[in-house]
Amino acid sequence: MNRMMKKGFAMEELVKIVIPIIVLLIIGAVLLTKYGPLGKKTTELADFDDCDKDKVANYFDKCPCLSTAGAEEEALPGCPKGTSIAQAQQDMQSCGKPDPACLLENKEDCPTHCQNVLGKAIELPSAEITGRAGDWDVIITTFYTKVDSAEQTQHVIDLENQEEGEVSVSFTLKNGGTQSFIESVKAQIEICDLDKRNCRSTDSVTTLPGMQGGSEVSLGETITVGKQDACDGQGEVRCYLKLVADKDGSLNEGAAGEQNNEAFIFLILKNQKFQEFGFTKYKSIEIFGGDDGSASPQQAIIRQTCLGFVGRDCEAAGGCQGDFPTELTTRGCWVMISEDDTLTDPDDCGQAAAEEGFVLDSLAYKQINHYGYLTNTNEDEPKNLLEWQWKGSTGSLLCKQGEWYLCSASANDQLLLAGSARYRCGNNRWIPS
């Protein structure tokens, strides 16, 4: 009996030890699956996350790991005041890489610089309500278009193969408070995309020289839409008109976070004509580097862009002149590859096609999304360079129907349609629009 009691006691003690270990193993497995080793998140730097919590998404942030702290460098969105272009480029290149402060021998096990910054960054607060306080509240009570005498907040315009059209709107502003004010109130109409973001101001700005307590004012405007705005496109395009009142923030009015200073009208443009801007377009690009044996990925700038074909219309690096096949791809855009060898060994030559819609950025290095591989020299080593990360030399390049479209200063603010996707050229970068 004593033996049985001892055995039962031992089993009970064993259970007390084993169960916590099992629980810890389960928790560890869950964390490892979600975050990878040492808390490292397994996904790459996400475009629309915000590493430094300065309310500028990574895709648009020229300094994704440096917070503006509320004072932004005008020419570099998302960068603190005084940041140079070189500093911005360095931050962009290092943000998604293993944190330099990590002392682990295998850097793949290190958290990224972004993850460390995210854990320490202080979220930038939303802009405070400013202006003179009082019992007043500017309210948009109506915002509509008139069609057949009916007031509508959704409007369909048949452009009949024109690039742009006009829409007439009416709106009413009210001072919902009991006190009058003498500050000017600005009401401005903007044009926004389907997410009610990426809004652009129109020339329509109405200024009211103050309002009496409880008073209302009705106004009307005619807006041109469809060209160089969020309503720009081809065929059927959907977008929003946005009305913003108290635009200059001169009054501290209403409750924090209130929504009565904004109103929207949903627009559907039909049979719209789209005239593409005269972008600079290249038939091929060339990447060049030395990488014998198995791949040793590095970061580099592409060697050249060519209006025709590298190796035929533009001189290729090393010994690859004339060694590239020139057949057009069924889809995508040519990437010619010159793999540098020794002085006594001719360079190896190959090529692949970048996928349709792939963007080769001008600031951030990235691997070329491609398919297929061709070579006239029967060499596989040029394929190693496709595992490197590359960036453009003079601007961002977007692959569309066999040509690389350049986004540079001369094409700033121009729209490009690529399949079902829309991109706008801004600050030498293709930005989804």
Strand-pair partners of 238: 268
* 77: Cβ contacts below 8 Å, ≥ 6 apart: 56, 60, 61, 62, 427
End-to-end Cα separation, the chain, in angstroms? 80
Amino acid in the structure at residue 344: T
Query: What predicted TM-score, i.e. pTM, was given to this entire model?
Result: 0.60
Give the residue among 301, 281, 270 at the shortest CA–CA distance from 389: 301
What per-residue confidence (pLDDT) applies to 340? 87
Percent of the chain as helix, strand, coil, to the nearest 5: 15, 40, 45
Q: Is the CA virtual torsion 80, 84, 89, 90 positive or negative?
A: negative
What per-residue confidence (pLDDT) applies to 5? 40
pLDDT along the chain (433 residues), means of 10: 42 54 54 38 62 85 87 85 89 88 77 83 61 81 84 90 94 91 88 85 87 92 91 92 79 61 93 94 94 90 94 85 70 91 75 93 92 81 93 92 94 89 90 84
Stretch (H or E) spanning 415: strand 415-418
Rg of the chain on CA atoms, in Å: 29
Tokens describing residue 336: 């010619």
